[in-house]
Structure 1
Amino acid sequence: MTTPQDDSALDELLPMEVLEGRAREAWDWLLASLLNLDVAIQMGLVLAAFVPALIFGPRLRHVVEGLAGARIKTGLARRLLTAAISLATPLALVAVLAIIRIVLGAIDQPFALIDAAMSLMTAWLVIRAVTLIIRSRFWSKVAFYVAWPVAALDVFGLLDDVVMQLQALAIPLGETEDGEPVDLSLFDVLRTLIYFGVLFWLASLAGRTVNAQLQRADEISPALRALIAKILGFALPIIALLIALQLTGFNLATLAIFSGAVGIGVGLGLQKTVANFAAGFTLLADKSIKPGDALEVDGQFGWVTGMESRYVSLRTRDGTEHLIPNEHFIANGVINWSKSDKVVRQHAPFGVSYDTLDLERVQAIAIEAAKTVPRVVSDKEPVCNLMDFGDSSVNFDLRFWISDPENGLANVRSDVNVAVWKAFHEHGVEFPYPQIDIHVRDMPAGMKKPGATKAD
């Protein structure tokens, strides 16, 4: 006969006695720390502090706006003023809590919960002010969801324990020259991301400031401005990342471990991206394409409105924006109508009837018609050449020069064609209609050939 065992498998998986002990400890802590008269008084005072804050906050907002609103119009000072006006009620709440803390300290009453509430509100005010000044939804959310939990953990004294747990979650990366192990902990990753986020925002702000100064510098060419902007856009984030790694204490020599994987990734997945990036630097360095140029790419005419790290933005006369990879210009070429000389030649082909005898007169009329178009340059004489004898017309090619291809090509050809049409009608020059000669060899039974007589 077997005797029942005292411990079952369920007891091994879930130690009920231990769990009950932890629950009793938590309850005792709750009763001792929260459910007592001092804590209840402080919680009541925190809730009561909202009443004067809601009363005096709007008044404080009107006072600040009235004193400084008319004097400060733009710039960083205006952003700070706008943040202060928006946070008038929370500022009033912090002020009321500070007065309550002073009073409780003066009468020797506990004020730990008041301190915690003030710390949380102060952290929230700082974070909110920063988000209002930054004016970026992404970085505002990053600042709120990162800084606020850290402040809350610090207020309740849990930040050190959380940091220790994050430092314990680490992966080995190797050893230093002295034989010391190098680990990468989750805390290092989070800290690096925070440093990089702040430094990246500062780098972006510096890049925008430099770009704004470059745009106002008329002595710098558009191509050089675009090149400097692209170099800054590439170098500043890398510098921010390296500084973030150094602030974290990360040994940059250990990055050599990942060089092989990065090389394979670049060779396989990022080949086109790297090629477009390098092609963008090449286009700017040799000044073959620059912002404002009039280009013709694969039969599409447009103007360069921007040169980014991966593509060139080409805006057509239809208002559409074509994003063409930088590598396309290197591999396939492009027609740049305004690279070295904006004076370019255009063609306006036309034909006249075979009944026209004085072809030299036709050429002279066409040349004079082209000269009447305002966009046709006057210092280069238009030329009208007889090209061939077509099926229905004698074909000419009117060639003329313009100095502003960026204003369009099809529209100026249309203006020249309209001028030629009017001039030919004024001088009686006939435009031909398509003519086809049909020779009928055999007629069906019962039908006569055109022009045949009864005798035939």
Structure 2
Amino acid sequence: MEENPPPPGLAEHLVALLNEGRDLVQMFLTPGWRQNQVLIVLGLIALAWLLRLLTSAWVQDWTRDRDGWPKWRLRMMVQIRHRLGLFYFAAGAWVVYLVMKQVTWPSRSYLIGIAATLATAWLVIAMLSRFVQNRTLRRLLTWGAWIYATLYALEVLDNTLAFLDSLVLGVGSLSLSLLTVLKALLMIVALLILARLLTQSATRGLQGNEDMSPSMRVLAVKAVQVAVYSFVVITGIRALGFDLTGLALLSGAVGVGIGFGLQKVVSNLVSGIIILLDRSIKPGDVISLGDTFGWIDSLGARYVSVVTRDGKEYLIPNEDLITSQVVNWSYTNKFVRLDIHFGASYGDNPHKVRAVAVTAAKKVSRVLSSPNPPVCHVTGFGDSSIDYILRFWITDPSDGLTNIKGNVFLALWDAFEENGISIPFPQREVRHLNDPARAGTDSAEGG
């Protein structure tokens, strides 16, 4: 019984590839129709470059005049203008190839057909790759597709794949060929692109769902992202040939070891889920936590982004929002009551002062007149003035509290000026005990 010959090794594949490369070089250098086809291709490249110089400015001006076009179509025209030379070359190569195929032997237009195929493949890949937003993924996808199309057009794909499959890397009892690794990487890149498109589409759909609360929308978006990207990771690991059973045992052992070092991280993650479920805080709410006052910009897995009126963005850990006292100014509704303390002279009628203060507050744009109109009460009789408190309501705390109080104070000032109401200030009489004039007066009174 004859034994099967052993598969070719790395050296044999290298020799085969070098021989094919040498044959290609000799084919181009040997006079005849093959060399003529190379010259025709070079002439088409020069013609395409010349046409690009002549028409690039016209295409740019024509695109700028398309006022009613959507943005995606304008971006597509910009990409076409950047690749005008490749468009001209592909069109010219296909025309020459089809004409020569009809009027002469097919072998005399073979190289021109390869050049036309390569140019078309490069164009399609370049245009489709623009849909990938991530620059690194776009470059990996573009170069990988270009290399594959080039090897396929030159009919050396099978030998290249066999060569890559002969490069084996041993990882314990597992043997991985370079071809397997490349296939897995390409699969992961394709799945990442698909996952990004799916998560973006799901995010837009969930955020536009008015039947869900803002916190539930964020939770649903996070759940979709975790599910999709977990599927990508597991699929990539399986594509490399790893046994997920052993990986589960290893992850369990490692998880116990690192769990103690990641207590805060896990606490913040769990706190974030609790915040999303109980809907105590949601994007757009105005909160106060310690000295931080601002509105919720976004809810993250580990922290909450709070933007203050001065443009600062605080990243507050989720655990702090669970364990600390948080003032949510817009938890059930956006009605917020503000208090202003002021004083008026004893010579001014308190009834008139209260009426003037209420009328002045109502004239400020952000102050509500209904259902909770401003009120003013007497709070006490001070040393220099009668003390009052003015209470009013607003519905837009995210627009600031200090500025609305300042506007109300200015309205009170103007109203008091118009109605002759004075705002007293404390006055004190200071006496020096060692004053000679005072001492003489005291002596005379005593005598």
Normalising by structure 2, report the TM-score: 0.74
C-alpha distance in 1 between matches for 2:68 and 2:338:
56
For 1:90-169, list aligned pairs within 5 A. 90-98=86-94, 103=100, 106-107=104-105, 109=107, 113-114=111-112, 117-134=115-132, 136-154=134-152, 155=154, 157=156, 159-166=160-167, 168-169=168-169
After the TM superposition, which of the residue ranges 237-246 and 268-277 deviates more from structure 2?
Answer: 268-277
Partner of 2:299: 307
Three-state SS of the structure 2 residue aligned to 1:432 is: coil
Equivalent pairs: percent with the same residue?
33
C-alpha distance in 2 between matches for 1:99 and 1:422:
84
Seen in structure 2, the aligned counterparts of structure 1 residues 159 and 119 have a Cα distance that, compared at 3 Å, is farther
Per-residue CA deviation, residues 266-323 of structure 1 (Å, 9 max, x unaligned), is: 6367555544443333222211122222223333433333334344333333444444
Seen in structure 2, the aligned counterparts of structure 1 residues 81 and 31 have a Cα distance that, compared at 3 Å, is closer
Q: CA deviation at 1:455?
A: 5.5
Seen in structure 2, the aligned counterparts of structure 1 residues 88 and 367 have a Cα distance that, compared at 3 Å, is closer
For 1:14-29, list aligned pairs within 5 A. none
Verify: 1:45 aligned to 2:40, yes or no. yes
Asked whether the equivalents of residues 176 and 240 of structure 2 are also in contact (C-alpha less than 8 Å), the reply is no
Seen in structure 2, the aligned counterparts of structure 1 residues 143 and 26 have a Cα distance that, compared at 3 Å, is closer
Partner of 1:399: 391
Q: Which amino acid aligns with 1:93?
A: F
Partner of 1:278: 270
Asked whether the equivalents of residues 127 and 147 of structure 1 are also in contact (C-alpha less than 8 Å), the reply is yes
Per-residue CA deviation, residues 185-215 of structure 1 (Å, 9 max, x unaligned), is: 5544443332222222222222222333344
Three-state SS of the structure 1 residue aligned to 2:38 is: helix
Q: Is the helix fraction higher in 1 or 2?
A: 2
Asked whether the equivalents of residues 130 and 140 of structure 1 are also in contact (C-alpha less than 8 Å), the reply is no
Seen in structure 2, the aligned counterparts of structure 1 residues 37 and 409 have a Cα distance that, compared at 3 Å, is same
Q: CA deviation at 1:349?
A: 1.1
**How many residues in Structure 1 have an aligned counterpart in Structure 2?**
419
Q: Which amino acid aligns with 1:284?
A: L
Per-residue CA deviation, residues 405-438 of structure 1 (Å, 9 max, x unaligned), is: 3443223322332333334444444322243443
Per-residue CA deviation, residues 112-146 of structure 1 (Å, 9 max, x unaligned), is: 65465445434422321212344553432222233
Three-state SS of the structure 2 residue aligned to 1:313 is: strand
Asked whether the equivalents of residues 169 and 175 of structure 2 are also in contact (C-alpha less than 8 Å), the reply is no
Asked whether the equivalents of residues 377 and 403 of structure 1 are also in contact (C-alpha less than 8 Å), the reply is no
For 1:18-97, list aligned pairs within 5 A. 32=26, 35-38=29-32, 40-54=35-49, 73-74=69-70, 87=83, 89-97=85-93
C-alpha distance in 2 between matches for 1:423 and 1:28:
97
C-alpha distance in 1 between matches for 2:43 and 2:441:
118
C-alpha distance in 2 between matches for 1:412 and 1:184:
68
Asked whether the equivalents of residues 226 and 284 of structure 1 are also in contact (C-alpha less than 8 Å), the reply is yes
C-alpha distance in 1 between matches for 2:110 and 2:355:
100
Asked whether the equivalents of residues 79 and 132 of structure 1 are also in contact (C-alpha less than 8 Å), the reply is no
Asked whether the equivalents of residues 391 and 435 of structure 1 are also in contact (C-alpha less than 8 Å), the reply is no
C-alpha distance in 2 between matches for 1:370 and 1:78:
52
Q: Which amino acid aligns with 1:348?
A: I
Asked whether the equivalents of residues 124 and 148 of structure 1 are also in contact (C-alpha less than 8 Å), the reply is yes
Three-state SS of the structure 2 residue aligned to 1:37 is: coil
For 1:150-299, list aligned pairs within 5 A. 150-154=148-152, 155=154, 157=156, 159-166=160-167, 168-172=168-172, 181-183=173-175, 187-246=179-238, 250-256=242-248, 258-260=250-252, 263=255, 267=259, 272-299=264-291
2:331 is matched with which residue: 328, 335, 339? Answer: 339
Structure 2 gap segments, 5+ residues each: 1-14
Partner of 1:430: 422
C-alpha distance in 1 between matches for 2:337 and 2:198:
45
Q: CA deviation at 1:164?
A: 1.6
C-alpha distance in 2 between matches for 1:30 and 1:403:
78
Seen in structure 2, the aligned counterparts of structure 1 residues 253 and 234 have a Cα distance that, compared at 3 Å, is same
C-alpha distance in 1 between matches for 2:266 and 2:46:
60
Per-residue CA deviation, residues 230-285 of structure 1 (Å, 9 max, x unaligned), is: 32233222223334445555543242254157526863675555444433332222
Asked whether the equivalents of residues 349 and 397 of structure 1 are also in contact (C-alpha less than 8 Å), the reply is yes
| Structure 1: 4+ residue segments shifted above 6 A | 24-31, 55-63, 69-72, 75-82
C-alpha distance in 1 between matches for 2:67 and 2:353:
73
Q: Which amino acid aligns with 1:169?
A: L
C-alpha distance in 2 between matches for 1:162 and 1:390:
96
1:330 is matched with which residue: 309, 317, 322? Answer: 322
* RMSD of aligned residue pairs (Cα, Å): 4.4
Q: CA deviation at 1:337?
A: 1.0
C-alpha distance in 1 between matches for 2:219 and 2:119:
46
Asked whether the equivalents of residues 79 and 133 of structure 1 are also in contact (C-alpha less than 8 Å), the reply is no
Normalising by structure 1, report the TM-score: 0.73
Q: Which amino acid aligns with 1:132?
A: R
Asked whether the equivalents of residues 164 and 178 of structure 2 are also in contact (C-alpha less than 8 Å), the reply is no
Asked whether the equivalents of residues 28 and 38 of structure 2 are also in contact (C-alpha less than 8 Å), the reply is no
Q: Which amino acid aligns with 2:171?
A: I
C-alpha distance in 1 between matches for 2:356 and 2:254:
68
Seen in structure 2, the aligned counterparts of structure 1 residues 61 and 414 have a Cα distance that, compared at 3 Å, is closer
Partner of 1:9: none
C-alpha distance in 1 between matches for 2:278 and 2:106:
77
Partner of 2:11: none
Per-residue CA deviation, residues 213-238 of structure 1 (Å, 9 max, x unaligned), is: 34444444333333322322332222
Partner of 1:17: none
After the TM superposition, which of the residue ranges 33-42 and 140-149 deviates more from structure 2?
Answer: 33-42
C-alpha distance in 2 between matches for 1:284 and 1:190:
40
Seen in structure 2, the aligned counterparts of structure 1 residues 383 and 165 have a Cα distance that, compared at 3 Å, is same
Q: CA deviation at 1:340?
A: 0.5
Seen in structure 2, the aligned counterparts of structure 1 residues 401 and 93 have a Cα distance that, compared at 3 Å, is closer
Q: Which amino acid aligns with 1:330?
A: I
